[in-house]
Structure 1
């Protein structure tokens, strides 16, 4: 056993300060999550209940196996926009009849469940996760369709939702639609393109055109039930495969559909794993409030991997990047974790070899971010930092084992790319409340702009306004700081959620289990040209 020792001292005032800073950020995160949980607000939730309907998360709870976790994804979607936090849609991974499923559920208390641009992005990301990990997809549908004032941003790209459903089915991934209310116009294609459809008596309404549109287009007078009610679709059109008496019955029937899928994972679940030797509660005090202060990522690794057992790879070479092998909830994992922020040529070459080894062994990779990027300066440029950094990015880009990323601290510049940021298609990417990500740190970016403007004024022979420069730097720093915060980035779906550090092991365990629903296999060559 190569159990990691810990030098962390919870009695140290510095640890206490870090912990207090993290707790403040977690309280801020809870306040933002509460906005998503509130849906359309007390008035509309009350009206929804008075109509005999269940709120969206209660529907999900009845669908899931009792006492099993639900990993909600992108709960802050739309944060900072004109739309409700959460984007009127709940997505996540949960267990139904022992089967891990990707669940999407409209929140009808938010503008009738209408889709806005962030709803679309969130739904497309959910479909992407279902396809990549071969997860059966269950849609709990109740939506009035597109939010019409924003139709220009939804209509054309929104067609991908229906394309995704057919592609999931074509890939042999089951799709189930449970219709609780409206699923009209384009939304009618959700049940239309799902493998299994359940509708609720006197509740479900599925039609391409409702009574007003039919009257305008054809002059025909028809009511909702004749056009698209559950009874009609069960008896006449054949669109409904199952006719439910009420919402609990519909969810029970959805569970029975999943139970009859004969679904098998590509990999067997591992036995119950040994927990870490060190307390996960201590994860709150590891990351400094000032991200310019480095911290040892081994302290994090020791609190998330099985038995705190970690075999480090090239421990004495490229020491700004920690690499090594471990298990997490019984699943093998290769870990790359930034130790002192900056990535040099040695770290880049070390990472490249490690990624190749993981692909040879079919082992998923976990990237723990705290990087300011690749090193700059004459010595490092002449030493080949461009080609060595490119080598690492090449390896990340062409690696075929599943990647998981967690932004713990800074994730700046091309270091974000080399550590498998969003653009590099990690299967899942999460952030801690302490994380920040941007092209560079706020002070550095403001300073670069100041230097460029100062040099421009000098070249023109003009005096430089120092007072205006100070004001500009302050404004730029404030802007970049606000745009690099996890709430801002998560609102734009640049991650799959901002998580409590203490939940990291659980969240990664759920993701690894989902990943192993499909085959885990690395690339054997095919990395392209590595510049030496």
Structure 2
């Protein structure tokens, strides 16, 4: 058995320093997650309860199977912006009546659940994940509609929500709307376009135009209930499929709907009774370098992530800056590509290309563990064909048809991000660790390049070079890139699907693999494995 061995010294100063840094990053993450859970804050949460309503996370808890896990997606969306962190919507993958579903829940304690540009991105990404992985969708609806001051950024792209809902239905992927409150204007089309709609009595308000708009448009005096109440839609319009007497009844009905959709996965089942890793995942915190310039051996991460620490390495003596090989995670076979010393040379690019082709021939999902500074530069490497070889790797990633799961462990810079299946290359799910960085290059390198360009420009024009101004500009650029490459900044813009505690990596990958196996797992056919 190709069981990985560890060389980690948990008593070393380096280990302890790394662990301290990672714990600090996790503490910062947890502080932000507490803000997300708080929603609109204590005042608005209490007002919501005083109206006899449950917070969105309590609705979720009642909806999911008891003691089942929930993989929350993009919890820090909108972090660092003028909008509340979390973007007024909760999304994630959970189990309902034994079926893995995508849940999208409005948080009405945040500006009435109104949609802003970040909640739109978050919702569209959730619907995309549902479509790609064939996950039924359950909408927990209570929203005042669009955040009107940002309507210019919402109106046109928000139409995609209706497109996604109708496309899911056309693909026989069930969609359910549980309407607990307002679902007005464009939002009225959410229950209108879902396969199943459940409306709560004296709570649900589903109409294209509320009483004020109706009065302005037609002169008619109308009330909420006659325009869009649950009773009216259940008895007269037919929009409502199920009439719920209260929120608990709506959640019961939602669970019953899922229990009757006759759902089954299309992907192969995992191996029974997979063995856990032989080494403690807690030790990952001391392995990951606190300094992104200092490499670490990804085999130590794999030894604490894959089943039984069993890893069959592919081409271990060739292209050693990239570790590739076969393993299982929670019983699911996977191929793994993990950066070792950061830089990708021609050998690594060709090795990755061959490995990706092999995975496609055997219908094996791929896991990318990023810690890369990009492809190697310099005269020797350009003459050696690094562009052609990098293109082969990116071509292979682009045309790979098996599911990709990506985790940014520490850094993801330059075209290395593309070659290691970054966001632009459609991984089914992508996560980052709290200390990870993402940018075109490191902050110091980028600022240095700008300085060199400025110095060369001054010389070409015969002008003196202002060293003091350059130093200030370099410091400002470095600070900007450092801020923009921060994991919170990146995830806030939906460039990944969330930040996860490194110790939870095995669990997150296991849940992700289970989700992607709801759909067919099939690699690209039509070409053999070719040597490059």
Q: What's the counterpart of residue 141 of structure 1?
A: 141
TM-score, normalised via structure 2 length: 0.99
Q: What's the counterpart of residue 34 of structure 1?
A: 34
1:510 & 1:116 partners in 2: Cα distance? 29
Alpha carbons 2:354, 2:531 under 8 Å: kept: no
1:388 & 1:527 partners in 2: Cα distance? 18
Matched, 1:155 2:194: no
- 1:113 shift after superposition: 0.3
What is the DSSP-based 3-state SS (H/G/I as helix, E as strand, rest coil) of the residue aligned with 1:206?
Answer: strand
Matches within 5 A, 1:66-77: 66-77=66-77
Matches within 5 A, 1:296-315: 296-315=297-316
What is the DSSP-based 3-state SS (H/G/I as helix, E as strand, rest coil) of the residue aligned with 2:194?
Answer: coil
Q: What's the counterpart of residue 167 of structure 2?
A: 167
TM-score, normalised via structure 1 length: 0.99
Matches within 5 A, 1:288-437: 288-437=289-438
2:34 & 2:424 partners in 1: Cα distance? 29
- 1:276 shift after superposition: 0.3
How big is the alpha-carbon RMSD for the aligned residues of Structure 1 and Structure 2?
1.2
Residues 276-296 of structure 1 deviation map (CA, whole Å, 9 limit, x = unaligned): 000011011111111101100
1:289 & 1:279 partners in 2: Cα distance? 19
- 1:268 shift after superposition: 4.7
1:203 & 1:286 partners in 2: Cα distance? 52
- 1:527 shift after superposition: 10
2:256 & 2:94 partners in 1: Cα distance? 15
- 1:217 shift after superposition: 1.3
- 1:473 shift after superposition: 1.1
2:104 & 2:130 partners in 1: Cα distance? 11
Matches within 5 A, 1:485-496: 485-496=486-497
Alpha carbons 2:443, 2:481 under 8 Å: kept: yes
Residues 376-435 of structure 1 deviation map (CA, whole Å, 9 limit, x = unaligned): 001101110000001000000110000000000110000000000000000000000121
Q: Which stretch of structure 1 is more off in the superposition, 212-221 or 513-522?
A: 212-221
- 1:198 shift after superposition: 0.4
Runs of 4+ aligned structure 1 residues displaced above 4 Å come to none
- 1:211 shift after superposition: 0.8
Q: What's the counterpart of residue 278 of structure 2?
A: 277
What is the DSSP-based 3-state SS (H/G/I as helix, E as strand, rest coil) of the residue aligned with 2:373?
Answer: strand
Q: What's the counterpart of residue 59 of structure 2?
A: 59
Residues 140-162 of structure 1 deviation map (CA, whole Å, 9 limit, x = unaligned): 00000000000000001100001
Alpha carbons 1:394, 1:527 under 8 Å: kept: no
- 1:33 shift after superposition: 1.2
Q: Which stretch of structure 1 is more off in the superposition, 267-276 or 58-67?
A: 267-276
Q: Give ranges in structure 1 of 5+ residues lacking alignment.
A: none
- 1:467 shift after superposition: 1.4
- 1:531 shift after superposition: 11
Alpha carbons 1:395, 1:527 under 8 Å: kept: no
1:257 & 1:96 partners in 2: Cα distance? 10
Q: Give ranges in structure 2 of 5+ residues lacking alignment.
A: none
